[in-house]
């Protein structure tokens, strides 16, 4: 079973700053099987990035994904007030589908 480790657990930043979130897999996975989600309090998760680097419909271009093998990154350039949330990575290369533990991006 693949384990996804997200770091840091919490990222304290100011609006306008750049956020860099890491998702490390315990074994190599193909990039097409890696996605990122945003979740705000009291809301369902929202798909941001799929296939490790493709933005989902309606996602602003300040969100970008990169990486391959075991190391994947979600970057947010120029944090907007609505970007403070929890972010999860997900792998679905095989069963079981796994989510990382999440990174909380909070207002500094």
Partner 1 sequence: QVQLVQSGPEVKKPGSSVKLSCKTSGGTFRSYAIGWVRQAPGQGLEWVGGVLPIFRSTDYAQRLQGRLTITADEATSTAYMELTSLKPDDTAIYYCGRGLEADHLYTSFDPWGQGTLVTVSS
The footprint of partner 1 (CB under 8 A) covers 33, 35, 37, 39, 44-47, 50, 56-57, 88, 90, 92-102
Smallest distance from partner 1 to CB 71, Å: 19
Cβ closest to partner 1, residue 7 vs residue 15: 7
Burial class (CB in 10 A: 0-12, 13-18, 19+), 6: buried
Cβ closest to partner 1, residue 68 vs residue 78: 68
H helix or E strand, kind and range, residue 105: strand 103-107
């Amino acid at each position: 079973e693949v384990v996804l480790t997200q770091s840091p657990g919490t990222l304290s930043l100011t609006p306008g700053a750049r956020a860099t979130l890491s998702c490390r897999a315990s074994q190599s996975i193909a990039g097409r099987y890696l996605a990122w989600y945003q979740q705000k309090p009291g809301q369902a998760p929202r798909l941001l990035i799929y296939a490790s680097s493709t933005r989902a419909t309606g996602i602003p271009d300040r969100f970008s994904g990169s990486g391959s093998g075991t190391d994947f990154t979600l970057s947010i350039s120029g944090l907007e007030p609505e970007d403070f949330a929890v972010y999860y990575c997900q792998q679905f290369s095989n069963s079981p589908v796994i989510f990382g533990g999440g990174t909380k991006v909070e207002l500094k």
